[in-house]
Amino acid sequence: MAALNNLTEHLEAFVDVTRSPTHHAESLKAIATSLEKGVLSINQLVVEMDMYLTTTDDVVRARGSILLLAEMLDYLKSKPLDNAVVHSLIGFFTAKLAEWRSVRGALSGCLALIKRKGVAGVVTAVDAEAVAKSMAQSIQVQSLALYDRKLCFELLECLLEQYPEAMINLGDLMVYATCEAIDGEKDPPCLMIAFHVVELLARLFPSPSGPVASEASDLFEFISCYFPLHYTHTKGDEASIPREDLSRGLSLAISSTPFFEPYAIPLLLEKLSASLPVAKVDSLKCLKDCAVNYGVSRMKKHYKDLWPALKDALYASTKTDLSFGLESLTSPGFEMGEIHREAVNLLQRLVKQDISFLGLVVEDIRVNMVFDTISRYLRYEEMLDTSKLEVLVVSQILSVSARSSVESCNIIFETFFSRLMNTLGIVEKTSPGDLVHNENSTVSTRLYHGGLHLCIELLTASKDLIPSSEECTSTPESAQQSWCSIVNRFSASLIEAFTSAVQSSNDDCSADAYLGVKGLLAMGMFRGGSSPVSRSEFEKILTTLTSIIAANSAKTVKWELALKALVCMGSFIDRYSESEKAMSYMAIVVENLVSLVRSSHCSLPHPMILEATSEVCSTMPTYVEKMVEGFEEAFCSSFSDFCVSLGPMTLDRKVFTIVSVSISNKQGIESFLISNYYLENTCQVNGNFKSIENCSQLLECVTNKLLPRLTEIDGLEKSLVNFAISMWNQIESSIVFSYDFNGREFVEAAMKTMGEIVGVASVDSQNSIIQKAYNVISSSTLPAMESIPLTVAALEGLQRNLSTRDELILSLFASVIIGASPKASIPDVKSLVDLFLVSFLKGYIRAAQALGSMINKLVTGSGGTNISTDCSLEEACDIIFHESDSSKTICGSETFLGKICLGFCGSLDLQTRAITGLAWIGKGLLMRGDKRVNEIALVLMECLKSTNSSGNALHPSAMKHAADAFLTLMSDSEVCLNRKFHAVIRPLYKQRFFSITVPILESLIVNSQTPLSRTMLHVALAHVVSNVPVTVILDNTKKLLSVILEGLSVLSVDSVHKETLFSLLLVLSGTLTDIKGQQSVSDNAHRIIECLVKLTSYPHLMVVRETAIQCLATLLELPHGRIYPFRREVLQAVTKALDDPKRRVREEAIKCRQAWTSISSRSTPF
Amino acid sequence: MNWRITPASSSSIKLLSLPLIELRQSRYFYFSLENLLVVCVRGKRMVSGLINENPTVYERKERRVRTDSTNTDEFSVEPIDQLEIFDILFFDFAIVNIHHIRDIRDPEHPYSLEQLKVLTEDSVEVDDHKSYVRVTFTPTVEHCSMATIIGLSVRVKLMRSLPPRYKIDIRVAPGSHATEAALNKQLNDKERVAAALENPNLVEMVDECLSPSFE
């Protein structure tokens, strides 16, 4: 009962037109839910609605009740209903179609019922017929509103789709109804459905005596008036249908039945000749659809008109500028407009469908004329535009026709190819294998560019016709033999001709080289065993291209073209897995290039060899393996060129003994270092500059070319890991390096490569590299450093630098550690920590970075079982800060490191190194979110005060390093501790550091005693502020603004801080524009303007001036009253900036001045 | 000035004596610059007596592109040169509203001074050391009454955009205008320019000519 009460309420709500649409929807939903749950049955609902359904009030009856019922049914699409109910409902709606007031409800009711699927109770065919009849007789579609029209079309569509038999019974009636409905329709969504309705009708009545056939002319008239589609109102209707879809729908409708043919084709041809590009494209597309659907026999009638029209379209849409550039080697070489593309598609379709169309093409006078044109000009540039067009279009026509089918290809080749060869003076080979009159034939070859182009186009077209090996068996051999044998007859001389074209080319004309290489490429891309190009010929092509690469000594167009062609062929072989060709390729191209890499002396510059090799070899995994092997060898040979190898060479025994003695006797560090030094000087090795340069170039190639493509090439990772290990092997077996000149570059390159390889390697591979590296390091003299006690005296005593070999080993090892993932196992962590600690105190920053990475990735002690390390984070920290025994504070200023930093002991050098090192360690801790970083930050801030706690003044250089340490802590580093090197990164770590340090820095600034300390504190603060995400700044604008402004004025004093100043200025400019900062900016406007005005004449950095002026322009967004008083001041400053030495500043100044003048009164224009 | 205005319809100008506001409402407005009368017609309807009914429109010359844009030396001086002045005049002041000169169907694409070859890059002479710039412009027809306003606009634009040390000289190309001498004198007379710019209507007019720079 309650349900019924509610029902009345909801019904009232729905019927009431004055209520809002949301109300309506709610009540509708409520009723639908109760129906669905079964609380209410349809019968009950209808009984309850009795009054509304029969009332004389039209509005209530139509809008309220019938629509309600219809919408309800839409909701209940999947609810099973009794057939009797469906029957009576559809009867009701059918009857209501005749009443125009309630037509919307009736239509949607019918639609909802007709759309019902099988299980849920469906409308019978008889009922559907009745609906269609009633609709056809009583509804004037075009007199209805937009939405109702759409419903009508949908209903028609549904009826035709779901009740084809019933509709066939109706016959003519449906066709009439459709014609009437479409006539005059203008709305895209309705048209979309209307076009589909036409298509359905055509499918329904295929017989030539059917209603569609008899009404074809009328029906076509109604739809053809939309062609070509043109939207008059393009904007504002987002929900509408895009032009392309509608045009496609129209095209399908037009091509839906062959009965339209007598009307459609003439119309389309007429539109094709129009000048409107859209009309051309549409008619070409539509003609293609028609060609598919109307069938050959009907199309045949129009060939005579079709061919000239199509030809004209091709001529009109082709541009004459043929590109001889690198990028067009694998593409047609000229721009393809949409018209052109569609024309080509149509041509291909027509030829494919009916070979007799080709007769028109073959006999065409213009096509035949082209051979004369070709032989008139030798060079492409010399041709007239008309001749160029002729050649391009004809080659396009012929190649497209050839591509369509094997049959057409045969015809084209039979008719034209020999003629073309004659024109070009290329002779066929008489007996298989050898060429008659080899010399004479090349001499008589006339390399007409136009002819070559046509020839290449034909070859490229035909190569797609070679079936892949599986299809090969099904195709009869004879079908494809014809063109294949023609090409085969000429292949040797063709290759000869192309080769001579490439070789005859010089630098100022790329056309020869381009055509030659493209021709060779086309010849080399024939697939499979039935290829017209034999293996020996294929190898000849490869040899030619490879020799071009090897012979050139500078990067010419020819060289690049040849390289690209080789890469194309390589990837083609890989794609179709042609094993035979792969073998040839390997033997000729890969081996040759790799051997070039290996030999350090050849005419080609080393970077070019490397580029060529890496490009060519990355086409297939096996080549990559080969290449990396080659690289390894090359590296080893050049490496051994500049260092003494321990293996085969016999060293001075004495020297060696000294070394071994000193290693065994670990106390005499000093003496061992001396001996090492001695060793280095006694061995006179002729360090080869070239080989060391080659080495670094090779490493750069590995990092820049190979590593980025790791994901694309399988098996590359493994080869690279082997490469890294062999690098270590090489270093292990060599004992002395003699480099000084290019050494730094080499070490840098080696570090980078090593780090990146480790970074991308899997954990297992990382482990093996680490193990190898560890073995090398433990056999070197470096472990001796671990045992140096961490006392000032000992560290100060360690004056002499490491030997170059040790330095290399240390740097490489540090790179390995930096790249290692947290899961990799590092042996003997404790002594490594010691080693790095000592080495960074000796000034090796890489060691500090490695230590930071290690600290970042170590597992905490409480973490329980860990397989990777024998040392937890806590232990490592204990070692570093040397404080495990005495006090609780682990890494504060009381520690040894802290004391050095604060200058309590040790020299200035030691102090600055310690500060830098501490920064890296702090970064490692900060990124993993460890609390110890707070104490490190405190130590660093302590360093920024003018005096330390015992009253000694801090050295300016130490203070500077401490300020820069904040940059290290906050900025994202490229070389270590980033995502690429698997750093452990806690989210929001920057924000956390910001909130800890900024208040302390602020208070320190307030209490600072000397100007220097104040400046340094500002630098530190600027580093922190400019590296934190902008949102954090915006949240704290109020607090930060004054300190930022103060910082800007303090930093602008000294040119040393210009970069810092700039980044701080960028922070300020970020706050100016944001809505959050607006209030405080407005409050501080006077100070901001004062500061910016000063910066407009900052002499040291242009971008600062530029940004300051831009900021001034931005300030105009503030309330007029706030900024007006500063007008004079700003204008003065900006006027001065008009005379700035830099142009960009002047441009900004002009804009800014203009803007500021405009707020002043009209009477002072300048 | 051989200058006649014939009303095109009932609502147009026989009303030279009407207050200015009303004139502007009727889509025509005028100002007087000393003895010169310029009438601007905006919109599609035309008065007779167009200044140049059918100007020759030239194709825009390919812009010379700066090659030294990658100059990385912080302290090198880039002197103000011809191209920069030209850019000042055209990047901001690209579309000077010349559509008074011709009935243009699409008021969104009026011809620019550059297209009409009123100003070319070569017509700018500049010497940064001597702080001197001279712009020579060529009115499209001899009797072009827009010449003054074009010259004035160019002057104002340069005054606003160049450092104060510059002396600006604006000239009409020799032989291109009927009252060449008078025009040159008028455009380079400090007093008269200052006086002209005290006329709010004239300033508004000039600002309108330069208006694209604010957008």
Compute the distance between CA of residue A951 and CA of residue B53 in angstroms, rounded to an integer.
88
Q: What is the dihedral of CA A262, A268, A273, A274, to 10 degrees?
A: 130
* Interface residues of chain B, partner chain A, Cβ below 8 Å: 74-78, 80, 84, 87-88, 92, 156, 159-165, 197-198, 200, 203-204, 206-207, 213-214
Mean pLDDT for chain A overall: 79
Q: Which of A1055, A1058, A1138 to mutate to test the interface with B (most CBs of B within 10 A)?
A: A1138
Instruction: Decide if A1138 touches B, using CB distance below 8 A.
Output: yes
Give the DSSP letter of residue A947.
B
Which helix H or strand E contains B169, and what residues bound it?
Answer: strand B167-172
* Contact: A1162, B203; criterion CB under 8 Å: yes
* Contact: A1162, B197; criterion CB under 8 Å: no
E strands in A919-981:
none
Angle (CA) A545 A550 A552, round 5°? 100
Instruction: Decide if A1155 touches B, using CB distance below 8 A.
Output: yes
* Contact: A1142, B160; criterion CB under 8 Å: no
Q: What is the dihedral of CA B188, B194, B197, B199, to 10 degrees?
A: -120
Whether residue A1024 is predicted with pLDDT greater than 80 in this model: the reply is yes
Is residue B170 within 8 Å of B207, Cβ to Cβ?
no
Residue A1102 with chain B: CB contacts under 8 Å: 74
Cα-flanking dihedrals φ and ψ of residue B128, to 5°? -70, -35
Give the DSSP letter of residue B113.
T
The position carrying tokens 């990735």 is A857
Compute the distance between CA of residue A129 and CA of residue A894 in angstroms, rounded to an integer.
97
Q: So what's the pLDDT on residue A1165?
A: 46
Angle (CA) A1139 A1142 A1143, round 5°? 90
Single-letter residue type at A305: D
Q: State the CB neighbour count (10 A cutoff) for residue B181.
A: 9
Single-letter residue type at B187: L
Is residue A597 within 8 Å of A630, Cβ to Cβ?
yes
Nearest CB among B77, B84, B159 relative to A1166 is that of B159
The position carrying tokens 């008109």 is A305
Angle (CA) A245 A249 A250, round 5°? 120
The position carrying tokens 């224009």 is A1165
Q: How far is A1072 from chain B (nearest CA, A)?
A: 21
Alpha-helical runs (H) found in A665-788: 669-682, 689-701, 716-733, 743-760, 763-779, 783-786
* Contact: A1165, B156; criterion CB under 8 Å: yes
Q: Which residues contact A1107 (CB under 8 A, 6 or more apart)?
A: A1062, A1065, A1066, A1069
Is residue B33 within 8 Å of B70, Cβ to Cβ?
no
* Contact: B78, A1141; criterion CB under 8 Å: yes
**What average pLDDT does the segment A756-782 reach?**
85
pTM of the predicted model as reported, rounded to 2 decimal places: 0.67
- Give residue A119's pLDDT band: very low, low, confident or very high (50, 70, 90): low
Single-letter residue type at A831: S
Q: Is A1066 exposed, middle or buried (0-12, 13-18, 19+ CB in 10 A)?
A: middle
Longest CA–CA span in chain B (Å) reads: 65
Q: Smallest Cα–Cα separation from A545: which of A527, A529, A528, A568?
A: A568
Instruction: Decide if A1163 touches B, using CB distance below 8 A.
Output: yes
Compute the distance between CA of residue A289 and CA of residue B88 in angstroms, rounded to an integer.
55
Closest chain A residue to B210, measured at CA: A1154
* Contact: B200, A1100; criterion CB under 8 Å: no
* Structure token digits, residue B54: 């059918």
Give the DSSP letter of residue A587.
I
Q: Is A226 left (phi over 0), alpha (psi -120 to 50) or beta?
A: alpha
Nearest CB among A1135, A1143, A1163 relative to B164 is that of A1135
Give the DSSP letter of residue B122.
G
Name the packing angle between helices A146-162 and A172-182 (round to 10°).
150
Q: How far is A321 from chain B (nearest CA, A)?
A: 20
* Contact: B92, A1154; criterion CB under 8 Å: yes
Task: Give the pLDDT confidence of B169-209 residue by residue, as tens digits.
Answer: 998 888 888 888 888 998 888 899 888 888 888 887 777 76
Q: So what's the pLDDT on residue A429?
A: 64
Whether residue A1006 is predicted with pLDDT greater than 80 in this model: the reply is yes
Compute the distance between CA of residue A454 and CA of residue A447 in angstroms, rounded to an integer.
12
The position carrying tokens 């039979």 is A414
Instruction: Decide if A1154 touches B, using CB distance below 8 A.
Output: yes
Instruction: Decide if A1159 touches B, using CB distance below 8 A.
Output: no
Q: Is A490 exposed, middle or buried (0-12, 13-18, 19+ CB in 10 A)?
A: buried
* Contact: B213, A1143; criterion CB under 8 Å: no
Q: Which of B74, B91, B198 to mutate to test the interface with A (most CBs of A within 10 A)?
A: B74
Compute the distance between CA of residue A1002 and CA of residue A995 in angstroms, rounded to an integer.
11
Instruction: Decide if A884 touches B, using CB distance below 8 A.
Output: no
Q: State the CB neighbour count (10 A cutoff) for residue A452.
A: 25
Task: Give the pLDDT confidence of A331-351 residue by residue, as tens digits.
Answer: 766 777 888 888 888 888 888
- Give residue A894's pLDDT band: very low, low, confident or very high (50, 70, 90): low
Whether residue A420 is predicted with pLDDT greater than 80 in this model: the reply is yes
Is residue A514 within 8 Å of A329, Cβ to Cβ?
yes
The position carrying tokens 């929900």 is A239
Q: Is A443 exposed, middle or buried (0-12, 13-18, 19+ CB in 10 A)?
A: exposed
Single-letter residue type at B97: N
Is residue A188 within 8 Å of A240, Cβ to Cβ?
yes
Q: Is B170 left (phi over 0), alpha (psi -120 to 50) or beta?
A: beta
* Helix/strand/coil (H/E/C) assignment for every residue in A606-659: HHHHHHHHHHHHCCCHHHHHHHHHHHHHHHHHHHHHCEEECCCCCCCHHHHHHH
Task: Give the pLDDT confidence of A31-65 residue by residue, as tens digits.
Answer: 888 877 777 777 777 777 777 777 777 777 776 66
- Give residue B115's pLDDT band: very low, low, confident or very high (50, 70, 90): low
When comparing pLDDT for A1160 and A1130, which is higher? A1130
Residue A1136 with chain B: CB contacts under 8 Å: 163
Nearest CB among B74, B92, B159 relative to A1102 is that of B74
- Give residue B57's pLDDT band: very low, low, confident or very high (50, 70, 90): low
Q: Smallest Cα–Cα separation from A858: which of A919, A914, A930, A918?
A: A930
Sign of CA pseudo-dihedral A946, A952, A954, A955: positive
Compute the distance between CA of residue A28 and CA of residue A630 in angstroms, rounded to an integer.
77
* Contact: B198, A1158; criterion CB under 8 Å: no
Q: How far is A1139 from chain B (nearest CA, A)?
A: 5
Closest chain A residue to B83, measured at CA: A1143
Nearest CB among A1102, A1139, A1146 relative to B165 is that of A1139
Q: How far is B183 from chain A (nearest CA, A)?
A: 22
Q: How far is B78 from chain A (nearest CA, A)?
A: 5
Single-letter residue type at A803: S
Compute the distance between CA of residue A151 and CA of residue A110 in angstroms, rounded to an integer.
10
Instruction: Decide if A1105 touches B, using CB distance below 8 A.
Output: no
Whether residue A545 is predicted with pLDDT greater than 80 in this model: the reply is yes
Q: Smallest Cα–Cα separation from A710: which of A634, A792, A628, A790?
A: A628
Residue B197 with chain A: CB contacts under 8 Å: 1165
Q: What is the dihedral of CA A106, A111, A112, A117, to 10 degrees?
A: 150
A393-397, A641-645, A951-955, B72-76: least confidently modelled range: A641-645
Q: So what's the pLDDT on residue A1020?
A: 93
Task: Give the pLDDT confidence of A575-611 residue by residue, as tens digits.
Answer: 887 788 888 888 888 888 888 877 766 667 777 878 8
Q: The complex's ipTM?
A: 0.72
**What average pLDDT does the segment A736-751 reach?**
70
Task: Give the pLDDT confidence of A651-689 residue by residue, as tens digits.
Answer: 444 444 444 444 444 444 444 444 444 444 444 344 456
Q: So what's the pLDDT on residue A646?
A: 42
Q: How far is B10 from chain A (nearest CA, A)?
A: 34
